Structure 1
Amino acid sequence: MSWMDSWSRPNKSSATPPPLYLTKGDAKYCSTCGRVIGDRRTHQKNKIVKYCSDGCREHRPGPMDKKIDRTILALLLGQEDSGLERTDAKTKYRKGDHRNVITCDEIERIAFDRKTEATVAEQTDEGFGSENDDLIVGAEGDEKSADESSDARKADALEKQKAGNKRAKEREMVRRAARRAVVFGFPVDQAEAERPQSRGKNASKEEQEGPPEDIPRRKCEALMSGHVVEPSYAKGNWSIRWRE
């Protein structure tokens, strides 16, 4: 069974449902990916369930995830040097509501210090052609050069595949962080966010994991096309902002 019971998971064509924390107040969320945990796991007796799968249990938030959390918090607060000027948050302000609305793609670009797609395309066009043309000219009539050219193309394809896999992983890390910001929020006191939390020496391993529940936290909400939705099912380049 996957992270969510199949009967309750919306398909691609169905509308994204409203937040479960409003329609189903006792919903349990995974401490790693921020998705809602299926009823089969939450109904296990005498067991504290904090993860939706063994994969999430083995890949708990690490230093990079915490960096993304800090990036999201700084953007939502509009802190200096947060990179807010690289987003379109100010263009989304409504009358009487100046909450910053940040998309997942904007968070990814700032957290990993990526350039815009237009800038990457311009740099690619500038350097395209010269090296490849020399390679083709030198390969004419030379079987050895043709083999070297083929190996170079294979190596280049492998590098592109690795870069694509890395970017896909980073993309999912950002969306996991955004979902956690929605369902768990951030500590109200920034000092509490930086200080390691302890549940006591006698606490079990499961009890020591996940966001502590005794600290006041400010939570976010997920947006798609201007509507507040359940983050577990949010699709595409969805956004987050503080809850009212």
Structure 2
Amino acid sequence: MSTRPSRNAPAPGPSANTLYCRTCGRVLSPRKSHTTQATPQKYCSDRCRRERPRPAPSTENDIEQAFVQLLGDGRERRIVKCEEVERAIFTKTRTDDGSDNEEVELLDAEELGEDGPSDGEEEAEDDGGGVRLPSEMEPPAATTTTTTATTTKPQSEKRPHKTLREWGMQKAKEREMVRRAARRGVAFGFETEEGKRRSVEAVQWGRVVESSFAKGEWGIRWRE
């Protein structure tokens, strides 16, 4: 069974006959309490038991299907990085979380009056050569008060802006969701469009590694 490497050591290769968690896809550590159980251990913790992958339609299923689509038929032995799927699945949700700029259309009274005075307010010479003052002009038929209103787009119920801490926690959660799906694919395979399960392997720096201990950027490809 693979053991956890030291901090700076590269991830080890996969081992045969290894049990994996059904939720996070990590290697299960054997416990004395499980040696006498008739059924094999399925989850590494109570948290993983509570957060089991949901069936379709769900985000977990969308992530797995994104891996399948990006991997293609496997002829090119393409390696799909976890970051690719993370961008494909969560880019839209990160821009629609209430942090987008709210555009407000204003009817500016000053802009409406920038055309200058009207013809009736301009000074005009009469036949006698005098100057016609504004007070001598004919009053308007009815005095009206024009109010320039500030109009805004209808405000929908938007989620409040996230703090930097909340934003970081959300991004870390989404990042781990993608890596969980990748590790589950390594351990149990992905379901293809034909309804069959196909195995993948974790690749980092050009070598096949144990996905449970892979750190930094890594990806998966179809197993030969």
TM (norm. structure 1) is 0.58
Paired residue type of 1:109: R
Distance 1:44 1:235, change over 3 A: farther
Cα distance in 2 for residues equivalent to 1:15 and 1:234:
8
Match of 2:30 among 39, 56, 66: 39
Aligned to 1:135: none
* Aligned with 2:40 (options 48, 61, 66): 48
Q: CA deviation at 1:57?
A: 0.1
The correspondence for 2:5, drawn from 1, 10, 13, is 10
Aligned residue in 2 for 1:73 = 68
Quick one: higher RCO (CA 8 Å, sep 6+), 1 or 2? 2
Please provide the CA RMSD for this pair: 2.8
Structure 1 equivalent of residue 183 of structure 2: 179
Q: 3-state SS of the aligned residue for 2:20?
A: coil
Q: Work out whether 1:113 is the aligned partner of 2:97.
A: no
The aligned amino acid for 1:107 is: V
Q: Quote the sequence identity (%).
A: 43
* Residue number in structure 1 paired with 2:163: 159
Name the SS for the 1:112 alignment partner: helix
Cα displacement (A) at 1:177: 0.3
Aligned to 2:82: 104
Match of 2:200 in 1: 220
Q: Which amino acid aligns with 1:61?
A: P
**1:131-142 alignment to 2 at 5 Å?**
none
User: Across the two proteins, how many residue pairs are aligned to each other?
Assistant: 156
What amino acid is aligned across from residue 174 of structure 1 in structure 2? V
Any unmatched runs of 5+ in structure 2?
Answer: 96-100, 102-159
Query: Given that residues 16 and 234 in structure 1 are in contact (C-alpha distance below 8 angstroms), is that contact kept between their aligned partners in structure 2?
Result: yes
Could you give the per-residue CA deviations for residues 90-130 of structure 1, whole angstroms, max 9, x where no partner exists? xxx9xxx6122111111100111369xxxx9xxxxxx9xxx
8 Å CA contact retained: 1:28, 1:42: no
For normalisation by structure 2, the TM-score amounts to: 0.62
Which of the pair has more CA radius of gyration?
2
Q: Which amino acid in 2 is paired with 1:220?
A: V
Q: Encode CA deviations 1:128-159: one digit per residue, 9 max, x unaligned.
A: xxxxxxxxxxxxxxxxxxxxxxxxxxx97x62
More helix by share: 1
**Equivalent residue letter for 2:175:** R
